[in-house]
Amino acid sequence: MITLTTDVLVIGGGATGAGVAWDAALRGFDVVLVDRLDLAEGTSGRFHGLLHSGGRYVVKDPAAATECIGENRILRQVAADCIEDTGGLFVTTPFDDPGYADRFVQGCGEVDVDCEEIPVAVALREQPRLNPGISRAFRVPDANIDIWKTVWALSHGAQQRGARILVYHQVTAIHRDGDAVTGARVHDIRGGEDVDIHARVTVNASGAWAGQIADLAGIEGVRVLPGRGIMIAMNHRLVNTVVNRCQMPTDGDILVPIRTVSVIGTTDRHTDDPDDQTIPESEVDQMLDEGEKLVPGFHEARALRVWAGVRPLFEDAKASDTDTRDVTRAHALLDHRERDGIDGFVTITGGKVTTFRLMAEQTVDAVCRLLGEDRECTTALEPLLGSEGHEYYRIGERLRRKETHLQEEQVICECELVPRARVEEMINRTRSANLNDIRRQLRLAMGPCQGGFCIYRACGIMHALDGVTAEQVDDALLAFLQERWKGVWPVLYGDQLRQIRFDEWIYHGVLDVDHLPHSDDPVGVAAVVGTPGMGGVPGTPGMPAVAGASGTPGRTEALSS
């Protein structure tokens, strides 16, 4: 068994956990971060991409709104390269209470959210696809944020300062010495080994799973109410600024342009399982209907894929209400020495992606108190890797950069302009045969074809490398197709149905993926990514074939001949 020793063990590799690792490393602590999967594969990687201005919460949850606007301003300075400054609008549609707008303006003033009312004609001129029946419009400093880019910048920055990042390491036990937590045992899912990590302080930054980790430590009452919500990415930008309906937060009331798509979200349903990624057909229909209220013609636009994420909403264990819309979006920091008499253990949960830096700062402040050491936080001043120039990301930048030498390198993914050299470098550096990990880091296969053309190319590149067997590549391909299929089959209608039928012809008719020789026990690929009950790739047992999806009531249409 491998044994590691560190100052701070961070459990959870989402935005908050990576933020804690970055903050602690900047303060000079030795850090180990572990996650059972890849970085940002949980809640952080499953949201709509909004950098909140706080406007959404000024009436209902002013504490969360105050946190959001403060962190919005800081992140624009230290994480500029991860942010596109789209701006935001709150609009009163014919379906909204017109009286809410005045409460919204008052709330913005009370929590210092920048808000400017503009003429409806100006809003419609700038965003011509908006509902022409809107009666009021307000500008706010919303933006979008690329969460994978952010989390990898945080983790790479921490690594440069000595932190060790262990992905695919699942916590199996929390070590206790009397009334003190002394670290954890983790299992290396890919390598098959157990690792004992001795730590002066252990930080539970596992989000929606925080209650489970606290249970392993023998601590009761860490009650996290998982709130499951779905989002749908539309194939192109229907709007170029974030658009919110000016009403109390509800389902399907926000449209976020991010990269080349626009994302509508989100539903909010209580679930008992933080791993619940159920996508009910009724919620998909609801999102499409709500999108029509913001952008007429939304139903006819091409839905690219749908996914579910689970919010970590913390509530006092004595409460009984499970309506997740009524639980505050502000975060909760639990010092278990003060709360439970257990030393060396801190839980941070709740909050928003927008507030991850503040959450990390307060968490590492608590670590310093536990250790009796006063070390100053500098994350509000220290830019992340790539953001040293304090310049926002701009749509079209990648194309402009590549056009200067596009003929000089082979492009593997045309949708996201991923060159062969980047794919090879990523595979060699990570030694990973997991195409989904590569997708998150390079945006490989995140475009309109959802991997229909680039993934078999990436598989060929992977197989050409020394040490990667054909069976491993087959496992990687099957796991990838299964993961993509989960997100596209609930929105199979119109052009998306035609695209996926074409992809099916490639992978079944040409590559015969149903009969690829693959391992019976893939480690770190399908064994990790696969979802119980989802079956295999399109057309395999337990999963409806693509052609069979054309009868989905209300949303699908038959393929034209």
Residue ranges of domains in the chain: 84-142+225-317, 397-551
- pLDDT of the residue at 552: 37
Between these two residues, 550 and 382, which has the higher pLDDT value? 382
Give the helix/strand (H/E) hosting 496. Answer: helix 494-504
- pLDDT of the residue at 534: 27
Mean pLDDT value across the chain: 88
Q: What is the Cα–Cα distance from 465 to 26, expressed in whole angstroms? A: 36
Q: What is the Cα–Cα distance from 34 to 359, expressed in whole angstroms? A: 18
| Cβ 489 vs Cβ 553: under 8 Å | no
For residue 320, pLDDT beyond 80:
no
pLDDT tens, residue by residue, 211-224: 999 999 999 989 89
Q: How far is CA 171 from CA 10, 345, 554, in A?
A: 11, 15, 43
pLDDT tens, residue by residue, 110-128: 999 999 999 999 999 999 9
- pLDDT of the residue at 524: 41
For residue 140, pLDDT beyond 90:
yes
Q: Is 356 helix (H, G, I), strand (E, B) or coil?
A: helix
Question: What band does 317 get if pLDDT is binned at 50, 70 and 90?
Answer: low
Between these two residues, 542 and 133, which has the higher pLDDT value? 133
For residue 350, pLDDT beyond 80:
yes
- pLDDT of the residue at 541: 30
- pLDDT of the residue at 405: 73
- pLDDT of the residue at 520: 62
Give the helix/strand (H/E) hosting 70. Answer: helix 62-78
Question: What band does 313 get if pLDDT is binned at 50, 70 and 90?
Answer: confident
Q: Which of 262-276, 371-385, 408-422, 474-488 has the highest mean pLDDT?
A: 371-385
Report, as an integer, the average pLDDT of 345-349.
97
Question: What band does 329 get if pLDDT is binned at 50, 70 and 90?
Answer: low
Q: Average the pLDDT over each of 354-363, 393-402, 469-478, 509-518 and give the range with the smallest value.
A: 393-402
CATH 3.40.50.150 fits 84-142+225-317, yes or no: no
Rg (CA), the chain: 23
Contacts of 99 (CB under 8 A, 6+ apart): none
pLDDT tens, residue by residue, 18-60: 999 999 999 999 999 999 999 999 999 999 999 999 999 999 9
Of 429, 434, 405, 410, the residue nearest 421 (C-alpha): 410
For residue 294, pLDDT beyond 80:
yes
CA 153 to chain centre: 15
Burial 279-298 (b: 16+ CB within 10 A, else e): beeebbbebbebbbbbbeeb
Strands 31-34 vs 2-11: parallel, antiparallel or unpaired: parallel
| Cβ 246 vs Cβ 104: under 8 Å | yes
| Cβ 136 vs Cβ 97: under 8 Å | no
- pLDDT of the residue at 431: 72
- pLDDT of the residue at 316: 58
| Cβ 114 vs Cβ 141: under 8 Å | yes
Give the helix/strand (H/E) hosting 412. Answer: strand 411-413
Q: Which two tokens stand for residue 317?
A: 């264990």
Question: What percent of the chain clears pLDDT 90, i.e. is strictly above it?
Answer: 70
Q: Residue 451 region, left (φ>0) first, then alpha (ψ -120 to 50), else beta?
A: left
Report, as an integer, the average pLDDT of 430-451.
87
Q: What is the Cα–Cα distance from 41 to 339, expressed in whole angstroms? A: 30
pLDDT tens, residue by residue, 367-378: 999 999 999 999
CA angle 434, 439, 440 (to 5 degrees): 105
Q: Is 90 helix (H, G, I), strand (E, B) or coil?
A: strand
Report, as an integer, the average pLDDT of 411-419.
90
Between these two residues, 414 and 324, which has the higher pLDDT value? 414
On the question of a cis peptide bond just before residue 266, with omega within 30 degrees of 0, the verdict is yes
- pLDDT of the residue at 134: 98
- pLDDT of the residue at 536: 35
- CA dihedral for 266, 267, 272, 277, sign (positive or negative): negative
- pLDDT of the residue at 106: 98
Q: How many CA atoms lie within 13 A of 539 on its CB side?
A: 17
Report, as an integer, the average pLDDT of 233-249.
96
For residue 386, pLDDT beyond 50:
yes
- pLDDT of the residue at 406: 67
For residue 274, pLDDT beyond 90:
yes
Tokens 């017109």 identify what position? 98
Of 228, 208, 159, 150, the residue nearest 347 (C-alpha): 208
Of 390, 336, 62, 46, the residue nearest 210 (C-alpha): 336
Q: What is the Cα–Cα distance from 486 to 506, expressed in whole angstroms? A: 18
Contacts of 140 (CB under 8 A, 6+ apart): 53, 55, 87, 88, 89, 90, 108, 113, 114, 115
Question: What percent of the chain clears pLDDT 70, i.e. is strictly above it?
Answer: 89
Q: How many CA atoms lie within 13 A of 101 on its CB side?
A: 20
